[in-house]
Chains A and B, each alone.
Chain A
Amino acid sequence: MPLDLEIVSPERLLLSRPVDMVVIPAAEGDLGALPNHAPMIVLLRGGLVRLFEGGQVIDRLFVTGGFAEITGSRVTVLADEAMAPNAVSREEGERRLAAAQAEYDSADKTDVPVLDAAMARMQSARAMIETAQNATP
């Protein structure tokens, strides 16, 4: 029984297809979902969503963060932004990293939610840079 995967960004539905397995970049480490996975709602970090079919990666998609809902038969990824790995721009990643770093430095060091948000953005920007590097060696 395949797993119905949907990847949506606020602007549009990017992908909707059945897969054998999907690995999503959850905030606390990559998470592979097979059919009949326990129902979960997870926070995502910046990274690659990998689609598997027959033990092979058949498609990869970069997300900058967001949420995912997993049920036994369905995985829904609500990405903040999503794009093909070769469309990820290194310059954009570096720009965002600098912006997030600046925000982190200027933030009040006792304001934990703001610091957390800046850290998450820095992580996402680093993932963008890394993905861009891997896509164009």
Chain B
Amino acid sequence: MPSLKALRGRIASVKSTQKITSAMKMVAASKLRRAQTRVEAARPYAQRMERMLASLAANVAGQPNAPRLLVGTGRDQVHLLVPVTGDRGLAGAFNSSVGRLTRGLARRLQSEGKTVKILPVGRKGRDMLRRDFADCLIGDVSFAGRKSIDFADAQAIAARIAGMLEAGEFDVCTLVFNRFASVISQVTTELRLIPVAVPEQAQAAEGDAARRAMYEFEPDEETILARLLPQNLAVQVYRALLENAAGFYGAQMTAMDNATRNAGDMIKRLTLNYNRARQANITRELIEIISGAEAL
């Protein structure tokens, strides 16, 4: 049985850990609220852009000179994976689930004889993938030390992806990120950016294709698409970044809540042990005194 002093030390140390984890939980909760409102605020633009893109894409997709950002290069050889993770840890399985999905995807593509390139966004993802896929990494983007992410950041990433496509460095681009389903649930999702996965509603609404074809375009479809597609790419990346940020704080809050509870259980157990040891000591001392008195 450990000594009383050692037990006291352990209780004190678990208590201070608990203070840290509960403070981190509070911080995550308040940051989560802010991140969540930003996710919700960005939604209307993304939805309307999707609607507009659906009506444009339907008109242009079949043409042979359709823009590359929309239809890709027509090949399926070089895959670019963009895993989005947080820059910090202590958020449960949040970062590692993106890492796991990316690894699985990369392995599968490689076993099919495809070339895989990885552009990780976020420090944790880079660190995780550097171990197994060091030769696939083609750079990384990190927002460590930044307070908030704005649309310009997403545009910079999107411009980089679009530039690589123009240079013919990949054929298919897939984004891997944690979708923010709710505070306690983040769903790891893969989203194909290039070629554009034509929004589902476009297919579902095939019936009113006639209505959609009635749109007039000014200047013309190609010019609008040339502006709309890079913007759409940036919007998708922006959404992933925001969902990632909100999901991260959600996951961190849950993880820290669990940690705080576990620390509480541990303190309870240690306190029980401590009291038992203390009482045993007292009893032993009493026995010594009594038996000493009896011996006289």
Contact = CB atoms under 8 A, between A and B. Distances in A.
Interface of A: 6, 8-13, 26-28, 31, 38-43, 67, 69, 76, 78, 80, 113
B56 interface: yes
A42 B51 CA distance: 14
A39 B151 CA distance: 29
Interface string B171-182: 000000000000
A38 B216 contact: yes
* B interface, over-half SS: helix
Given A10-B238, A28-B219, A41 B52 contact: yes
A67 B218 contact: no
Given A8-B44, A39-B214, A67-B224, A27 B219 contact: yes
A26 B52 contact: no
Given A78-B48, A78-B49, A10 B151 contact: yes
B226 interface: yes
A80 B51 CA distance: 17
A40 B213 CA distance: 10
A11 B51 CA distance: 17
A11 B217 contact: no
A11 B56 contact: no
Contact of A11 (B41, B214, B215): B41
Contacts of B235: 10
B216 A76 contact: no
Contact of A41 (B38, B42, B150, B215): B215
A44 to B, nearest CB: 10
B21 to A, nearest CB: 33
A42 B52 contact: no
A69 B51 contact: yes
6 contacts: A9-B45, A10-B42, A10-B238, A12-B45, A41-B224, A43-B227
B291 interface: no
Contacts of A67: 52, 224, 227-228, 231
A10 B228 CA distance: 13
Contacts of A13: 41, 44-45
Given A8-B48, A69-B52, A113-B226, A41 B217 contact: yes
Interface in B146-160: 150-151, 154
Nearest to B227: A43
Nearest to B224: A43
Contacts of A10: 42, 45, 151, 154, 234-235, 238
B150 A42 contact: no
A27 B48 contact: no
B55 interface: yes
A69 B217 CA distance: 10
